Structure 1
Amino acid sequence: MYGDGSSVLWAKTQLLTIDFASATKESADENALNEFSNLFVRQYHYIKLTEFILFVARFKLGRYGKFYGYFDTITIGEAFRKFLKERSDELDIIIRKRNNQAQEQRQVPVERNHQPPDDLRAKLKLR
């Protein structure tokens, strides 16, 4: 709906929030950030915005390391690959849990209101 330009700008804005939150001596290089944002959007076009926001939040919390002196797009790329691994593991857990719940629901015992015929009742001495 909005095109690649909007996606690139949005990704760049989120990456800048990482830059602002980090205590680096030098800010992100504008050209490097533009190029990285373009590459990122094209490479990871399947990632939802909410997932990218989660990555940014986790990065800011130090979950994937930190910058040493300057904003580094390679560090961001490596951190995002770690995030993708975590994402995959978390999705596997969710899918497995849903599959187990569905299987448990299918295995619920069926109540039967079956009465044996009278002649069988007599043989079994049931009343």
Structure 2
Amino acid sequence: MTYLTQNFLPSQMSEAYSPQLQSAVMSAFPTILQAHEATKIPAIVHVAQAYDEDVAVKWVQQQLLAVNEFAGAKAKLTDFQLDELAIQIRLEYGYLNLFEFILFCARLRSGKYEDFYGSIDPMRILKSLDAFCDDRRREINRAYEEKERIAREREYEESKKNSISFEDWYLSKSEEERAKTREVPYFAKMAKEIEERERLKSGENNPNDNNG
């Protein structure tokens, strides 16, 4: 929000994120995740907070007007529909950053979501936006899960580097500590096998062997 007011007047913000970007945004951001992760891109709600609600709503209207003009439908959005639709989008989807919403409009123009059969229907636009946000959530969740998986693998590899085997740990202990370890049923068999190997290495006979 501070970034906006320090660097842009409302008119400059509208020009920086103009509807003309709809033509190129799909090449710049092939996925929603890339648009979501773009740095220093304000959300629609930030525009409202930095300036006022009217600036945010008018910005949404400008983007919708570009879709309205681009669509081949005979019946376009009326002024009333455009006003109400922009307000509803601002209130329900204000968390979208500006590139995400521009990308949505570009995808809407390309026919990725709902088709307009003879007229542009505000409800179809909202249904398409809902589908876009579902795709957005899936992409963000997949990216988060992948980062978590990589972090777990890295943590596991680091733990392997810093860990020692049970045998090395056992042999590093004093005889008193080893005796306590052998009293634990889970470790008793492993400890016995380690002791046997150590006796064989040192050339000692197993005291249980029959020498006779």
Same-fold call, TM cutoff 0.5: yes
* Matched residue, 2:82: 33
Shift in Å, 1:24: 1.1
Alpha-carbon separation, structure 1, partners of 2:51 and 2:98: 13
Q: Could you say what the CA RMSD is over the residues aligned between the two structures, in angstroms?
A: 2.1
Q: Secondary structure at the match of 1:36?
A: helix
> 2:60 aligns to what?
11
Larger CA Rg, structure 1 vs 2: 2
Distance 2:53 2:150 in 1: 39
1:71 shift after superposition:
1.7
Aligned length: 121
Q: Which blocks of at least 5 consecutive residues in structure 2 are unaligned?
A: 1-49, 173-197, 203-212
What is the aligned counterpart of 2:148 among 74, 92, 99?
A: 99
Which string of whole-angstrom CA distances, capped at 9 and with x for unpartnered residues, describes residues 19-71 of structure 1?
A: 11210112220111011111110111212112111211111111102211122
* 1:84-122 deviations in Å (ceiling 9; x for gaps): 1111111110110110111111011215799x88xxxx9
Is the contact between residue 113 and residue 131 of structure 2 (CA under 8 Å) also seen in structure 1?
A: yes
Structure 2 CA distance, aligned partners of 1:19 and 1:7? 18
Matched, 1:20 2:46: no
1:42 is matched with 91
Unaligned runs of 5+ in 1: none
Q: Which has the higher contact order (CA 8 A, sep 6+)?
A: 1
> Helix, strand or coil for the counterpart of 2:161?
coil
Give percent identity, aligned residues only. Answer: 26
Q: Distance in 2 between matches of 1:76 and 1:64?
A: 9
Task: State the AA in 2 paired with 1:33.
Answer: L
The answer to whether the Cα contact below 8 Å between 2:73 and 2:116 also exists between their aligned partners in 1 is yes
Alpha-carbon offset, residue 13 of structure 1: 0.7
1:110 to 145, 161, 165: 161
Give the structure-2-normalised TM-score. Answer: 0.52
The CA distance in 1 between the partners of 2:154 and 2:134, in whole Å, is: 30
1:82 paired to 2:125 = no
The amino acid of 1:20's aligned partner reads E
For 2:103 and 2:152, how far apart are their aligned partners in 1?
Answer: 31
